[in-house]
């Protein structure tokens, strides 16, 4: 499958004569999708091989649940363990064979040292075999951190997260590489928080069983230790990522150069034709500099591209970028500067195209290309909001586990704590947005709706989704009574917080619809799990595993150990 992906991605590198830009862009998109699906199928096949290897190891008696003595552990360590190590490790995890788990973990850590987990995407010229190898390693780490906390291996999970981050120091050559560390981190965070929830009701030696109030406080105390460590690591990772191209012009001084560029050369350049998704993809893939060089060449050849009535697709085409081409020809602006600023603007529109559609359909300024900077002003505020949301993801991951595991009191207290700590930042962004709206006379519902949401909105959405299952259960069996009404009330309240732009269905409503469809399908096919059996883990590998016994003092000791960043 990987070889097939390599063969597909090597085809159609150049636009065939007679094929339009739009058709070629569609062809390349279909080619990339086909290659990516083959790589994903190869990854799933690799995971299946892991599971089959684990099943064979269990069947052969290579692992077993025992309380091994130190002598037994040493005896196992002295043996040369056969391949595959991953299959044997998973088998040991399934049966809770602690000595074999530690032994195989050491083998896998040794194997991963010096390997790369970053990759260049296929669409940017990456090789399918290298993409597969890097993603397979990341997938292995993701699966392991999801299951190890269930066997009480908290420190080992933290160590794997640190290893995953350390492996990113090796960067592949070529274009900007992609990291999947966020998947490993989310899987680990979810599992560690799940471990806290599972251990909170467990009493230590000679202790009475804790009350619900004590259990809730334990959960909050555990999170107060774990989440700051997670946030430190996550913030370090987030700084290394560019969530939006507009983060390059975060300060006003940098943005002023882009603003002046749009004012001087935007008329006739930033047309609706240029800013269509297919046109943007074509220019950005082919390169902005070659695009400008092509226009300059056409201008030098006397080609009548400036006032052409139709484009190569047969559609209407507006006047070309006369001012920009003339400015480059006379040296008013260098080709390098023009390329850099035009690329940033086109990438900004491409990554925020739903907001561009809102701008295009609701404002009169959108008719003029030299006013496009107003849209970018709004998008800069949105980019800052999204950066904060991204930074707070460990907080929302923890909350999601709390609501899905039924720890409603702890979840409510967690939301309240987050609201208190983020209210000032949220108000500052809303104030900046209000000032910009008054200054420009423009209101973009798609941006305003997003920025005015409190940062706890994503937590409240988790709570709404957690109410779907009880509501469906009430619909089918009549209990718990009032669950449907509770879901309806919370959804109506949330509608006042996140109404959407009016151009597209709000993203939270989309997610809620998907959740409802999934729960209804589960109810029709196999029935719904009880609250105590509700899945709190994101990985299917972890679903059949029970939580091994780990007392609260033991867990608190493991989480509290000073290990630096996770």
Residue-averaged pLDDT of the chain? 83
Residue 388's H or E segment, with its range, is helix 372-391
pTM: 0.82
How many residues in total does the chain contain?
Answer: 566
Number of H helices, E strands in the chain: 24, 0
CA–CA gap between residue 364 and residue 371 (Å, rounded): 10
Q: Where are the beta strands (DSSP E) in 279-392?
A: none
Q: What is the token pair recorded at 402?
A: 């709390």
CA–CA gap between residue 145 and residue 130 (Å, rounded): 23
Query: Does residue 531 carry a pLDDT above 70?
Result: no
CA–CA gap between residue 473 and residue 47 (Å, rounded): 34
> What proportion of the chain, given as a percentage, has pLDDT over 70?
86
pLDDT digit string, tens, across residues 532-541:
444 443 345 6
Q: How large is the average pLDDT for residues 279-287?
A: 87
With bands split at pLDDT 50, 70 and 90, how would you rate the model's confidence at 557? confident
Q: Which long-range contacts (CB under 8 A, 24 or more apart) does 226-229 make?
A: 226/192, 226/193, 226/196, 226/398, 226/559, 227/394, 227/395, 227/398, 229/565, 229/566
Specify whether the CB–CB gap between 417 and 219 falls below 8 A: no
Q: What is the token pair recorded at 154?
A: 């908290």
Most confident region among 177-186, 256-265, 477-486 by mean pLDDT:
256-265
Query: Does residue 503 carry a pLDDT above 80?
Result: no
pLDDT digit string, tens, across residues 173-230:
766 788 889 999 999 999 999 999 999 998 767 777 888 999 999 999 999 999 988 8
> What proportion of the chain, given as a percentage, has pLDDT over 90?
38
pLDDT digit string, tens, across residues 152-166:
899 899 989 989 988
Cα–Cα distances (Å) from 102 to 27, 85, 367, 447, 565, in that order, read: 49, 12, 65, 50, 22
Residue 476's H or E segment, with its range, is helix 468-477
Specify whether the CB–CB gap between 181 and 237 falls below 8 A: yes
Query: Does residue 374 carry a pLDDT above 90?
Result: yes
């Amino acid at each position: 499958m990987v070889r097939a992906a390599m063969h597909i991605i090597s085809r159609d590198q150049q636009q065939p004569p007679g094929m339009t830009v739009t058709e070629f862009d569609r062809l390349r998109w279909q080619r990339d999708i086909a290659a990516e699906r083959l790589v994903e199928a190869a990854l799933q096949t690799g995971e299946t091989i892991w599971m089959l290897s684990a099943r064979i190891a269990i069947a052969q008696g290579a692992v077993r649940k025992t309380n091994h003595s130190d002598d037994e552990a040493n005896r196992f360590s002295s043996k040369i363990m056969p391949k595959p190590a991953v299959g044997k490790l998973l088998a040991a995890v399934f049966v809770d064979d602690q000595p074999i788990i530690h032994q195989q973990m050491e083998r896998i850590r040794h194997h991963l040292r010096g390997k790369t987990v970053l990759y260049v995407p296929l669409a940017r010229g990456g090789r399918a075999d290298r993409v597969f190898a890097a993603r397979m390693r990341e997938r292995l780490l993701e699966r392991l951190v999801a299951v190890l906390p269930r066997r009480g291996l908290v420190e080992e999970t933290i160590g794997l997260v640190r290893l995953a981050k350390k492996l990113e120091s090796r960067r592949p050559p070529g274009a900007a590489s992609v990291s999947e560390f966020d998947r490993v981190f989310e899987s680990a965070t979810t599992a560690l928080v799940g471990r806290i929830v599972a251990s909170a009701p467990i009493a230590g030696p000679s202790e009475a069983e804790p009350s619900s109030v004590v259990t809730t406080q334990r959960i909050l105390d555990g999170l107060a230790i774990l989440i700051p460590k997670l946030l430190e690591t996550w913030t370090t990772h987030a700084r290394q990522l560019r969530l939006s191209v507009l983060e390059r012009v975060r300060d006003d001084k940098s943005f002023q150069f882009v603003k002046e560029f749009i004012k001087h050369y935007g008329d006739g350049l930033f047309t609706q034709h240029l800013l269509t998704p297919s046109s943007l993809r074509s220019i950005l893939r082919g390169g902005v500099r070659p695009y400008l060089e092509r226009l300059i060449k056409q201008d030098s050849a006397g080609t009548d591209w400036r006032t052409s009535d139709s484009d190569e697709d047969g559609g209407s085409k507006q006047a070309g970028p006369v001012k920009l081409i003339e400015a480059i020809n006379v040296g008013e602006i260098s080709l390098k500067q023009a390329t850099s600023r035009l690329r940033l603007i086109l990438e900004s529109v491409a990554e925020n195209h739903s907001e561009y559609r809102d701008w295009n359909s609701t404002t009169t300024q959108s008719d003029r290309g030299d006013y496009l900077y107003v849209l970018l002003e709004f998008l800069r505020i949105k980019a800052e909001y999204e950066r904060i949301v991204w930074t707070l993801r460990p907080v929302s991951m923890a909350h999601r586990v709390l609501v899905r595991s039924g720890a409603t009191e702890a979840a409510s207290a967690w939301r309240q704590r987050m609201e208190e700590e983020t209210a000032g930042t949220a108000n500052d962004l809303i104030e900046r947005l209000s000032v910009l709206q008054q200054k420009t006379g423009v209101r973009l519902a798609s941006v305003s709706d997003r920025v005015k949401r409190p940062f706890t909105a994503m937590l409240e959405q988790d709570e709404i989704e957690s109410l779907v299952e009880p509501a469906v259960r009430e619909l089918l069996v009549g209990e718990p009574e009032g669950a449907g009404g509770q879901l309806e009330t919370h959804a109506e309240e949330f509608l006042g917080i996140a109404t959407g732009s009016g151009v597209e269905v709000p993203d939270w409503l989309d997610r809620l619809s998907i959740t409802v469809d999934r729960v209804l399908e589960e109810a029709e096919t196999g029935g719904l799990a009880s609250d105590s059996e509700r899945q709190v883990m994101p990985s299917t590998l972890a679903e059949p595993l029970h939580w091994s016994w780990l007392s609260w003092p033991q867990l608190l000791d493991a989480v509290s150990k000073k290990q630096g960043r996770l």
